[in-house]
Structure 1
Amino acid sequence: MNHDGEGVGRVEGFTLFIPGALPGEKVRVKVLKTKKQYGYAKLLEVVEPSADRVAPPCAIYDKCGGCQLQHLSYAGQLAWKRQHVIDALERIGKLPVAGAASAAPREGGVAAATGAAAPAPDAAAAPSTDARPGGAPATERAIVVRPTLGMDEPWRYRNKAQVPVGVTDGGLVGGFYARGSHRIVDMETCLIQHESNDDVVARVKSIARRLGISAYNEETGQGLLRHVVVKVGFRTGEMMLVLVTNGSKIPHEDEWISAIQREIPAVVSICQNINTRQTNVIFGDTTRVLWGREVIYDYIGDVKFAISARSFYQVNPVQTEVLYGKTVEYASLTGQETVIDAYCGIGTISLFLAQHAKRVYGVEIVKEAIEDARVNAELNGMHHVTFEVGASEDVIPQWKEQSIEADVIVVDPPRKGCDPRLLETILEMKPERVVYVSCNPATLARDLRILEDGGYRTIEVQPVDMFPHTTHIENVALLVRSDTGI
């Protein structure tokens, strides 16, 4: 399978990408499109199925683009995701991985170039020959990639629904975009969403139809309701509803609010976000509270967070605690360290680290996120945490000039990876440890290579399955300075 979860097969040496096909299967396909060295095909029949093939439980799985791996057993998903990480480290980062297959191109190099993977081993990487962190043999200095940390219950894990609204056959619909398009598939239930989110979305659509609210049309730019966004606190049960509208006026606003209050008592906040731009970006710049509170609250571990309409907050709180727990473990905090959290967002990782560190400094370029982070620090009585607005690569050198030296730097960048100047800054500051949290194995591998070339050594990478049944995989990587002797 390639990184998009498509099966990679061959006919007389010609490579075809086949959505829905699994490694080891024999399938009948219809070729849809060809290029010089590869093509795309549609799966017609599974002649010899994989032992990992399962029946997708979702009724609209073949139409919706939200999940890509429901036809693969959960154990198979976890193994494939680990192998995906190994492939990226070897091929992109040119980094040695303990117990991994060779990165040599397979069958003429076509599959290697497009990301096809060897069968993933079930066991952990090579056994340890000493007691060093991660257990990588001292003679190899190879990176240990741990088995993917999955969920006991890999369904109903999302705490946020962002549902596009449109018109189909003259009626208002809301659901998900069909795979590879902007055609909206109406949806009543989503098996990876919290059940409460399903209920709220269904009721809001019903109320909108009843009140004659118009749906937004992407092509014409006409119509009012663009998206319904629902957030739920897993621990608190509190819910927020955000109506994203193409204009500031909401017809029958009072009736909307009273109907929502009456039918969905768990909702403690109803907000409107105004987005009049012809864009596929969900939120506009203006948000107002229609009724109730400006925020809802939830917890990650023992840390309490205030979540506003536009706050970025991890969508899988169960696995977020696993991810952050591994981050704290890799940081090896004793309570005496100074930690810098680059790309700190609303302070989620910063405050998790602050439970175990002497000082924490967080930096984030989004002003509203830093305002939320300061509120969250105050909410938890954490006065040894400092947050600053700006680009990490600008702010961290300023801190260094103020004699702020970091023992540990934690980075959790967007999919594009770390800014090159931030990597240069890390190499100049020389913290003992770098903990890299990543949502993209390709840019993780690229950045690890740069840090390794600059004097760091990657000890261990831990994949964490934050998004079961999709191709996405989070990782936490531990790096130490090569001169530490660890």
Structure 2
Amino acid sequence: MTKQQAPVAKNEYYDVTFTDLTHDGLGVAKVDGFPLFVKHALPGERAKVKVIKVKKGYGYGRLMELYEPSPDRVEPPCPVYRQCGGCQLQHLSYEGQLKAKEKQVKEVLARIGKLEGVTVHPVIGMKNPWRYRNKAQVPVGEREGGLVAGFYKERSHEIIDMDACLIQQEANDVVVQTVKRIAERYGIPPYDEATHKGVLRHIVARYGTATGEVMVVLVTRTERLPHEQEIVRAIVRDIPNVKSIVQNVNPERTNVIFGAKTRVLWGSEFITDRIGDIQFAISARSFYQVNPEQTKVLYDKALEYAELTGSETVMDAYCGIGTISLFLARKAKHVYGVEIVPEAIEDAKRNAELNGIRNVTFEVGAAEDVIPRWYQEGIRADCLVVDPPRKGCDASLLETIIAMKPPRVVYVSCNPATLARDLRILEDGGYETIEVQPVDMFPHTAHVECVAKIRLR
């Protein structure tokens, strides 16, 4: 279908009925079989839409008038929801969100994975799906001479100034507002992307949900932070439970948040938090799950699927700072964790020490290189756990798993589409997918995590 043949035209209006949601939370309607994707629309709704963009096989529309709302539609409680790009589903009831995520997982497993008859359980949601994020990373800018700090407007670099984010821990809101006020008081110029001038680029807040400890990170363009001592004293005075104040220097023209250099301005280099009864040390740049309450649910399910009795050797590919490895180590004979990021492995070793867990071995490297070497050294996995990034498992790691045939594989996934693709490869290599448990780690967003239980046929 070429652009000329599309049955819709830009800036024209159409009456449509929405039939589905995309994986990123857009409503889907069809005009003569031609898909239109529309923000803030829900399945079952009838509406008038304006076409704002026409691509080769699909288009984008804007919701102009709702004739028939979905019974699952709710009023978003966040005042900046329609401008901010942080959440996609606040206009859908929480029950509706969980149903939509379950449907997404089922459809993707069938369409991409060609997996028939696999049990997909209902999504495990949160009792209170608000105020769950333990980390805020907020860009700083200037408007009418005053400092603004908030999230970017969707698909733009315009900062939406906000006092509170309803999916952030309240302690993080306090950090952002307090630091903004202190920086303004001492005339700290915000970073300007266009001119590459100014000092303060981002305010990052981290909060230990179980411990109440707070970390404040000031990301600056310059090594020198003007009024450093006064700013530190003011933060210590005004922010409850602050344990760590850190400066990170990022002098580059980039939209990456952190630079290579980090120094402690006051207090500790780390704060601590717990998931279950395992303690974690978290530094400014540590990777750590942003929703510890649901992380425990996810890892408990991974532990259940691993079926450990205490005599097993487990391998954890993509082990990060050792979160899953340490959970598994208490029920296994020995856990071997591998991760390509050297700083994460340093954190993993520190976390093992912090918890007195000795039956773990952590190594830096690519899983597809390290795991075959372990096998050559005579180490055999009774269970292999993978928790890859959004792009899924490296193809050569999947080949390694198929060649080495561990009896059980547990796949923790943050992207149902790449999970489905990888499960298909494992199925073709002699494995069977037994069941999949989705977990809602990020309420009010379109993301869903899954744990899959896989056995060698």
TM-score category of the 2 structures, normalised to the smaller one? over 0.9
Calculate the TM-score normalised by the size of structure 2: 0.94
1:65 corresponds to which letter in structure 2? G
- Residue 182 of structure 1: how far off its partner (Å): 1.3
| Letter aligned with residue 30 of structure 1 | K
Q: For 2:335, what is the secondary structure of its paired residue?
A: strand
Rounded to whole Å, the distance in 2 between the matches of 1:186 and 1:22 is 28
Q: Which residue matches 2:406?
A: 431
Give 1:45 shift.
1.7
Equivalent pairs counted in the alignment come to 437
Encode CA deviations 1:199-256: one digit per residue, 9 max, x unaligned. 1110000001111001111122111111111000011000101111101100000001
Please state if 1:39 is matched with 2:59. Answer: yes
Q: Distance in 1 between matches of 2:429 and 2:61?
A: 44
Whole-angstrom distance in 1 between the partners of 2:154 and 2:413: 25
**SS in structure 1 at match of 2:230:** helix
Determine helix, strand or coil for the equivalent of 1:425.
helix
Within-5 A mapping of 1:247-258: 247-258=222-233
Superposed CA offset, 1:6-65 (max 9, x none): 111123443211101100000111111223432111111211000100000000001000
Aligned AA (1:451): L
Q: What's the CA shift string for 1:384-434, capped at 9, x where partnerless?
A: 101001110111111111111000000000001111111111112211100
Out of 472, 476, 479, which is 2:447 matched to?
Answer: 472
SS in 2 for 1:70: coil
Q: Distance in 1 between matches of 2:385 and 2:33?
A: 45
Partner of 1:268: 243
What is the aligned partner in structure 2 of residue 101 from structure 1?
none
Cα offset for 1:90? 1.2
SS in structure 1 of the partner of residue 42 of structure 2? coil
Q: 1:51 aligns with which of 60, 63, 71?
A: 71
Matched with 1:279 is 254
Paired residue for 1:357? Answer: 332
Match for 2:120: what amino acid?
V
CA distance in 1, matches of 2:299, 2:312: 17
Give the letter aligned to residue 298 of structure 2: L
CA drift of 1:170 comes to: 3.1
| Alignment partners' CA distance in 1, 2:374 and 2:33 | 56
SS at match of 2:344: helix
Match in the other structure for 2:169: 194
Task: Provide the residue aligned with 1:115 in structure 2.
Answer: none
Partner of 1:166: 141
Aligned match for 1:60, one of 47, 66, 80: 80
Structure 1 residue 166 displacement after superposition: 1.4
Deviation (angstroms), 1:380: 0.6
1:342 aligns with 2:362: no
What does the per-residue CA deviation read over 1:328-383, in whole Å, with 9 as the maximum and x for residues that have no partner?
Answer: 00000111111000000000000011111110000001101100100100111111
Q: Which residue of 2 aligns with 1:417?
A: 392
Query: Could you tell me how far 1:322 is from its partner in structure 2?
Result: 0.1
Offset of residue 172 of structure 1: 1.6
Q: 2:269 aligns with which of 287, 291, 294?
A: 294
Which of the numbers 1, 12, 19 marks the counterpart of 2:39? Answer: 19
Identify if the C-alpha distance between structure 1 residues 26 and 171 changes in structure 2 by more than 3 Å, giving closer, same or farther.
same
Percent identical: 67
The whole-number CA distance in structure 2 between the counterparts of 1:35 and 1:256 is 50
The two structures, once aligned, show a CA RMSD in angstroms of 0.9
Alignment of 1:9 onto 2:9: no
- Alpha-carbon distance in 2 for matches of 1:265, 1:38: 51
Per-residue Cα deviation, 1:178-211 (whole angstroms, up to 9, x for no partner): 0111111011100000011001110000001111
What is the distance in 1 between the residues matched to 2:326 and 2:397?
Answer: 22
After TM superposition, list the pairs within 5 Å mapping 1:26-175 onto structure 2.
26-96=46-116, 142-175=117-150
State the secondary structure of the residue aligned to 1:261.
Answer: helix
Deviation at 1:297, TM superposition (A): 0.5
Give 5+ residue unaligned stretches, structure 1: 97-141
